[in-house]
Amino acid sequence: MFDEGGYGSGASGGAHDRLAARMRAMKERSGLSYGRLADRTHYSRSSWERFLNGKQVPSRVAVEQLAAAAGEEKEPLLALLDEVLASERAAALADGPGSVQTTGPQSAGRAQGPGPAPRAAPAQSAAPAAAVTTSTTTTKTAVPAPVPPTQDPAEARPSRWAARKATRPAKAPAGSPEPGPWRRRAVAWLPAARALGYVTLGALLGAVISVLVLAPGNDPVGTVAGPSASATADGKKGAKSVPAAGTIKVGCSSDTCLRREPQAMDCQWDATTVRQTWLRGMQIELRYSAACQAVWGRIEGGTIGDSVTIKDKGGHELSSEIRVERDTYTRMLAVAADRPWQEVTICGKIPRFHEQECSPVGAVQP
């Protein structure tokens, strides 16, 4: 069993460490390597290394697909993931509007200081009460007391502040205490603090949505077959069985798969690589699913802006560009007995070098 600590600090760090440790233990029990795990999920080898080493919080889809690939229950991992996300949200809120909430009650307590005066009035003598009443009724005509010529200027500052306070016009009815300076400052900062809290919360939600929605379009599952194993006449050799979680029925077949997402139709479970080429270290693959009778293009090891394009002899053409991380894949083109996958051309392009590589070599490029 792995140690569940040592990767982070704080509430979210502890939950994150436990999640990473359990995911690593699940991977070890399944006997899957990082490469096999990348072939069976939507995520690349580098993404799984970050998830399982605690460098990045995995998405909900990644947790579910790890459990499916390992043939184990996903609920314990999802519960830990919810705990991690809740801790991050709580930490973000504590750094934003939480500081204003702690300051508010303290300022309110200072501002309400004159409030208990009516309850403490019986313990005071009649003379101070009369003095308070007199100062309240003569606030508009009171003038600062003259400073003696020999008085130090530093000692005269409280007198000037008291004179300014005494000459300030009363804004509240008699008997209602005027808010103190600290409360007025807190109220003045409240809109800005609230806006900061909204921005922090929005950034946190945006990060979560980016992880869930904008995950790299890596072909989820399937072992890469070598050229000799995959380039057969019918394209079925080298297909792998479905994950241990159970038999998965595909959602389309042949023409009904046109321009659809392969993982959304569960076409990735028996997919094999039937064409493969390289360009400056970027791997370019044509993936084929016998169950769905469809193909799609995939590139790995590229950079943002690199693209992959597939095209059949019927004129159908699909492309996809890397927008995050280092890999992406296209939607599907349909194949059939009279339109086999051997007639599909795949090309990878690196725009910054103005270079393109296609397979088969010498075919009409997209």
Backbone phi, psi, residue 290, to 5°: -70, -35
Tell me which residue has tokens 């890469």: 224
Please state, rounded to an integer, the average pLDDT across all residues of the chain: 74
Mean pLDDT, to the nearest integer, of 238-265? 76
Apex 23 CA angle, 21 and 25, nearest 5: 70
pLDDT at 280 over 90: yes
Closest Cα to residue 40, out of 238, 216, 242, 212?
A: 242
182, two tokens: 């600290």
Write down the pLDDT at residue 215: 58
Full-prediction pTM beyond 0.75?
no
Can you tell me the distance from the alpha carbon of 16 to that of 13, in angstroms, rounded to the nearest whole number? Answer: 5
Can you tell me the distance from the alpha carbon of 22 to that of 29, in angstroms, rounded to the nearest whole number? Answer: 10
b vs e for 11-43, b when ≥16 Cβ sit within 10 Å of the residue's Cβ?
Answer: ebbbbbbbbbbbbbbbbeebebeeebbbbbbbb
Query: How are beta strands 294-300 and 333-334 bridged, if at all?
Result: antiparallel
Can you tell me the distance from the alpha carbon of 304 to that of 17, in angstroms, rounded to the nearest whole number? Answer: 30
Express as a percent the part of the chain with pLDDT over 90: 36
Where residue 160 falls among pLDDT bands split at 50, 70, 90?
low
CB 87 within 8 A of CB 12: yes
pLDDT at 111 over 50: no
Can you tell me the distance from the alpha carbon of 345 to that of 356, in angstroms, rounded to the nearest whole number? Answer: 13
Give residue-wise pLDDT tens across range 163-180: 666 666 555 555 555 556
299, two tokens: 């590139």
Query: How are beta strands 294-300 and 328-329 bridged, if at all?
Result: antiparallel
CB 221 within 8 A of CB 40: yes
Where residue 127 falls among pLDDT bands split at 50, 70, 90?
very low
Give residue-wise pLDDT tens across range 307-362: 999 999 989 999 999 999 999 999 999 999 999 999 999 999 999 999 999 998 75
Amino acid making up residue 143: V
Alpha-carbon torsion (270, 214, 19, 5), positive or negative: positive
Mean pLDDT, to the nearest integer, of 51-77? 90
Where residue 95 falls among pLDDT bands split at 50, 70, 90?
confident
Residues forming a β-bridge with 300 = 283
Write down the pLDDT at residue 159: 57
Can you tell me the distance from the alpha carbon of 3 to that of 17, in angstroms, rounded to the nearest whole number? Answer: 9
CB 63 within 8 A of CB 48: no
Size of the chain, expressed as the number of residues it contains: 366
Tell me which residue has tokens 């990878």: 348
Instruction: Write out the chain in H/E/C secondary structure.
Output: CCCCCCCCCHHHHHHHHHHHHHHHHHHHHHCCCHHHHHHCCCCCHHHHHHHHCCCCCCCHHHHHHHHHHHCCCCHHHHHHHHHHHHHHHHHHHHHCCHHHHHHHHHHHHHHCCCCCHHHHHHHCCHHHHHHHHHHHHCCCCCCCCCCCCCCCHHHHHHHHHHHHHHHCCCCCCCCCCCCCHHHHHHHHHHHHHHHHHHHHHHHHHHHHHHHHHCCCCCCCCCCCCCHHHHCCCCCCCCCCCCCCCCCCCCCCCHHHHCCCCCCCCCCCCCCEEEEEEEECCEEEEEEEECCCCEEEEEEECCCCCCEEEEECCCCCEEEEECCCCCCEECCCEECECCECHHHCEEEEEEHHHCEEEEECCCCCCC
Give residue-wise pLDDT tens across range 187-229: 677 788 888 888 898 898 888 887 786 655 444 444 333 333 3
Q: Over the Cα atoms of the chain, what is R_g?
A: 35
Write down the pLDDT at residue 327: 95
Write down the pLDDT at residue 119: 46
Give residue-wise pLDDT tens across range 281-297: 999 999 999 999 999 99
